Amino acid sequence: MSKTIPVQKNDYIQVEFEDLTHDGAGVAKVDGYPIFVHGALPGEKANIKVIKVNKGFGIGRLAELLERSHFRVDIAKEDSHKYGGCQLQHISYEGQLAFKENQVRQVLTRIGKLEDVKVHPVLGMEHPWHYRNKAQVPVGEKDGKLISGFFKPRSHEIIETDESLIQLPEVDGAIQMVKEICSELGVKAYNEETHKGDLRHIMARYGKETGELMVVMITRTPDFPNKNKIVAEIVKRIPKVKSIVHNINSKRTNVILGDKVKVLWGSEVIYDYIGDVKFAISALSFYQVNPDQTKVLYDKTLEYAGLAGNETVIDAYCGIGTISLFLAQKAKKVYGVEIVQEAIEDAKRNAELNDITNADFAVGKAEEVIPKWYEQGIKADVLVVDPPRKGCDEALLQTIIEMKPHKVVYVSCNPATLARDLRILEDGGYKTLEVQPVDMFPQTTHVECVALIELR
């Protein structure tokens, strides 16, 4: 039975918002029919224009705000609110943390069917701006000069911006400088439509504790004009630079990095510290982008692991071994597994760098390597997983259920897949005791969580 939709495209209507979607849009209901409006907050009344009418939901645009939420604050930068990933800029930080806590709760109940899990208030930042240690920005051209900024959604158009609200100034500064140098020395921007030109993206990564900077130029072609001169200028004009890397991505794709990496100048890695542990980080390796909150996240992970010193620990999706080495200080033995070869090389180097001798690392898929370890008799007392957004592979979860480590600590950057995977573990004999959200990404809709799970 099809219900009639109570609104039409281009209608102007007055609504009251009652909720936020996971991507930060306000939700209002007209006779039960939900309409999503970006920039609107729960508790607010507004006149909206209906701009799209789908079967199950509509989309509207704010026309006039009639009643403001006490969580609403002025937007510092319109373009980054719209395009730059700072979708929660219009919400006070207190409001952002409340939104994230609520989202975690809702998802655990709705997707995970977990009713009685303790969800703690989100651990937030004291100063929730300019925290990111890494950025990769697309490069375009305007009036014969290189520009950088954000891609306008669903287009090849670049919205020019030279300062971000969430990146560390060293990162922003380096990107601007590399862009200027390349522009002066005649480098052409890559054009997505024609698949011509050279420079696609500029990436910068900064070790906040060491002051070391890496810049990466990502080009379509193996060579680009004035390469040596550009390198010399970067060294001259960016004093903190320790590593200049060239990454070649010749494919027609929106994936940013290619897999060919050449060090043009300096070291192949930069270093950083989290707590007392020193890390080498290379261009293609994953490294958490919010160094201050990473410490908070790893401390919580270590606390949940509750190590006494005689445990065997597996760290699945270990990246450059960050969590593994944190845990190794308190465990008998740690095994880390990760799919990116370069990251495992970093992990081994990082163990050496910190004189940690009780950590072993393997390259491969967690869902293939861990079952093999299990066959060989390697059995974890505590197992940590920190998968990418899509969550754990089902085969890995089944291995965990068979192996029966008494604790699983799940670090997750996506509450929806966390909830899905927790349900599988619950059905396999585990119980989720508590979930601690940590705000790794202020101003954005992203939420990070650590969950403590025990064998029943």
Inter-residue contact 89 to 80 (CB < 8 Å): yes
33 is known to lie in a ligand binding site = no
Q: Helices 415-427 & 93-110, crossing angle to 10 degrees? A: 30
Among 366, 383, 418, 438, binds ligand SAH (CB under 6 A): 366
Angle value at C-alpha 49, between 43 and 51, nearest 5 degrees: 115
Closer residue to ligand SAH, CB minimum distance, 50 or 366: 366
Beta carbon of residue 59, minimum distance to ligand SAH (angstroms, whole number): 33
Residues from 372 through 401 that contact ligand SAH (CB under 6 A): 386-388, 393
Helix (H, G, I), strand (E, B) or coil at 449: strand
Closer residue to ligand SAH, CB minimum distance, 95 or 291: 291
Tokens coding 2: 């099809």
Beta carbon of residue 319, minimum distance to ligand SAH (angstroms, whole number): 3
Beta carbon of residue 173, minimum distance to ligand SAH (angstroms, whole number): 25
**Selected range binding ligand SAH among 19-27, 251-259, 286-294, 351-359, rule: CB under 6 A:** 286-294
β-strand pairing of 241-248 with 260-266 = antiparallel
> Annotated catalytic sites, by residue?
413
Closer residue to ligand SAH, CB minimum distance, 3 or 389: 389
Alpha-carbon distance of 8 to 49, in angstroms, equals 10
Tokens coding 360: 């072993």
Beta carbon of residue 203, minimum distance to ligand SAH (angstroms, whole number): 16
Among 36, 286, 326, 373, binds ligand SAH (CB under 6 A): 286
Beta carbon of residue 387, minimum distance to ligand SAH (angstroms, whole number): 6
Tokens coding 137: 């920005």
Angle value at C-alpha 72, between 66 and 74, nearest 5 degrees: 100
298 is known to lie in a ligand binding site = no
Alpha-carbon distance of 149 to 138, in angstroms, equals 6
**Sign of the Cα pseudo-torsion (332, 336, 341, 346, in order):** negative
Beta carbon of residue 81, minimum distance to ligand SAH (angstroms, whole number): 27
Among 38, 61, 295, 365, binds ligand SAH (CB under 6 A): 365
Binding residues for ligand SAH, rule CB under 6 A, total: 20
Inter-residue contact 63 to 12 (CB < 8 Å): yes
Instruction: Label residue 278 exposed, middle or buried (CB < 10 Å: 0-12, 13-18, 19+).
Output: middle
Closer residue to ligand SAH, CB minimum distance, 97 or 323: 323
Alpha-carbon distance of 139 to 136, in angstroms, equals 10
**5 near ligand SAH (CB under 6 A):** no
288 is known to lie in a ligand binding site = yes
Residues from 287 through 316 that contact ligand SAH (CB under 6 A): 287-288
Residues from 314 through 343 that contact ligand SAH (CB under 6 A): 317-319, 322-323, 337-340, 343
Alpha-carbon distance of 421 to 135, in angstroms, equals 30
386 is known to lie in a ligand binding site = yes
Residues 6 or more apart in contact with residue 180 via CB below 8 angstroms: 146
- Within 13 Å of residue 108, how many CA atoms lie on the same side as its CB? 25
Exposure string (b/e) for 202-228, b if CB count within 10 Å is 16 or more? bbbbbbbeeebbbbbbbbbeeebeeee
Nearest-Å Rg of the Cα atoms of the chain is 24
Beta carbon of residue 365, minimum distance to ligand SAH (angstroms, whole number): 4
Contact residues: ligand SAH, CB under 6 A: 286-288, 317-319, 322-323, 337-340, 343, 365-367, 386-388, 393
Binding-site residue ranges? 288, 317, 338, 386
Binding-site residue ranges for S-adenosyl-L-methionine? 288, 317, 338, 386
